[in-house]
Amino acid sequence: MIKRAFLFVFLFCAVASGKGRFRPGDWITYGNFRYVTSVSVGFTHVYFGTTEGVLRFDRNRRVFDAPMTTADGLPDSYVRQLAYDASTDQLYAATALGGAYFLPAFGEWYPATFPDNLTDRERPKLPLLVPDDFNLRYLGDGQVGDNQFRRFRFTDWAEDGFNNLWIGSWGLGAFVGDLRLGTLVRLPYGLLTSRVAAFWMEPGKIWFACLRKGADAGGLALWDLKEERWSFWEAGLAANFPSDDIFALSGNQNFIFLGTEQGILRYDRKTGYFRPAGRRGGLRGEAVLALLATEGGLFAGTRYGVYAVDPKTDSVWNLTSPSIAGAVVNDLKMAGSYLWAATNRGLFRLAAGSKNWTRFSDASQIALSTIRSLAVSGEFLWAGGLRGLLQVNTVSDSIEGYRVAAGDADLDVYAVGANGKYVWAAVRSGVYQFDPANKEWDFLSDLEGLTSNEIYQIHVEGDYVWFATASGASRFFWNAPHLRK
């Protein structure tokens, strides 16, 4: 018996070591989990297989745990079927790239043949259920409808033996029905679409800008971490929310600002209403690519220049001087006593009280070419673009440029994030984690746990760095004890 236990531990350690230096929870992917393919009830959790991973709902705490995707060892995020083995407390998943089983005790997935014998279960007949959401109605034929006359069919369901019927739908995610009361409760979790253009973070809340993807409309998603609640506003369906893609997000205590194809959209946090902003000053119909909000105002970058907006009066001031006129503004940041602009014509800055932008220059000529993204960490401004990565000390104006990463790769940077320890620079094939103090480069990609190598924005929040990508939002635990050098 002791020999068998030792052999199991040895084999487990060998498999785990093959997964590299990362452990369960280091990488988490948040995607669109509204399309459920399979439902399975376990001892402590209910599992929902979706087209972008597995959701697990804690039956005791009544909340979702972190989703499971390819970052956790699934062969493919599109889960065709789930099956739970009560005798071993193992969850099995079938995907197009093979099967796998999940050990809740270890929190990891391992390759396995999907057991067909576990799928022979009879689904109970669907009873009449009344949704608690006034925007939904049960149609009585395994479908729910909404106020926009859309229909969403139930794809799978399972009873847990405690008068709960767990239901998966195609388009609205997970539901639970109370068989005693006859009620139906939606359990929303995840994004509107997995194309995340931008996010804005505040204590306890994360706002996501989702782009259109396939038949799904984009829009705005809010994750309230304290309440463990997701909220959604679909573009083209929410009142006064046009069907435009969102390119930028920013906010303050009163408003959330959306930079869209047709200008700025303002969400009033008290009233819950959307309305355009900045249209009186000429921002009507102009694509807004960058936003920077303060408590008293807003700066907006477009394809033609920079504007200041007073959200309360809707007044707009054109801050575009001849030196920056016609430049495509990709990002805006406040650092030192300057407003900085990343443009397709280089890096510009505007001093407080000045009317003229100054084009920044450096010996490596990084700042003179296209700059796509900016990040601020303490007294340092980091700029990433076509020719590499630039560090600017906003106090002393000292500059250091990096045109080559790890000694052999030319840097063409699409997004930048920074804190006091590392700088993350996204390139076409992934992201570099750079330690400026020791001049050390580490490369991360979808092979390590990143959901996509196509990165639109990077944001560092405490021990985690977030990546907005074309296939969801990735959260990386950069400060995990086992990853510290």
Element (H, E) at 226: none
Ranges of each domain in the chain: 22-190, 366-485
Fold of 366-485: Methylamine Dehydrogenase; Chain H (2.130.10)
Q: Indicate the DSSP class of residue 132.
A: S
CB of 289 closer than 8 Å to CB of 303? yes
Which pLDDT score, from 0 to 100, does residue 485 have?
A: 67
Share of the chain above pLDDT 90, in %: 80
Q: For the sheet containing 63-64, what is the strand order?
A: 36-41, 45-50, 53-58, 63-64
Which pLDDT score, from 0 to 100, does residue 94 have?
A: 96
Handedness of CA 355, 361, 365, 371 (dihedral sign): negative
Mean pLDDT across 105-121: 86
Distances (CA, A) of 21 to 16, 40, 434, 478, 482: 9, 31, 18, 12, 8
CA separation for the pair 382, 321 (Å, rounded): 24
The half-sphere exposure of 92 on its side-chain side, counting CA atoms within 13 A, is 18
CA separation for the pair 352, 356 (Å, rounded): 10
Element (H, E) at 8: helix 2-18
The amino acid that residue 437 corresponds to is: A
Residue 113 has pLDDT above 50, yes or no: yes
Please name the residues in contact with 151: beta carbons below 8 A apart, sequence gap of 6 or more.
139, 143, 144, 145
284 falls in which pLDDT band (50, 70, 90)? low
CA separation for the pair 483, 17 (Å, rounded): 14
Q: Indicate the DSSP class of residue 294.
A: -
Mean pLDDT across 93-121: 89
Which pLDDT score, from 0 to 100, does residue 408 have?
A: 66
Which pLDDT score, from 0 to 100, does residue 314 have?
A: 83
Residue 203 has pLDDT above 50, yes or no: yes
Which pLDDT score, from 0 to 100, does residue 15 have?
A: 39
Roughly how many angstroms between the first and final C-alpha of the chain, as a whole number?
39
Taking only the tens place, the pLDDT of each residue in 338-352 is: 999 999 999 999 998
User: Minimal CA–CA distance to 101: which of 78, 118, 82, 123?
Assistant: 82
User: Minimal CA–CA distance to 86: which of 39, 119, 43, 116?
Assistant: 43
Taking only the tens place, the pLDDT of each residue in 153-178 is: 999 999 999 999 999 999 999 999 99
User: Minimal CA–CA distance to 246: which of 268, 217, 275?
Assistant: 217
Mean pLDDT across 250-269: 94
CA separation for the pair 281, 279 (Å, rounded): 5
CA separation for the pair 210, 484 (Å, rounded): 33
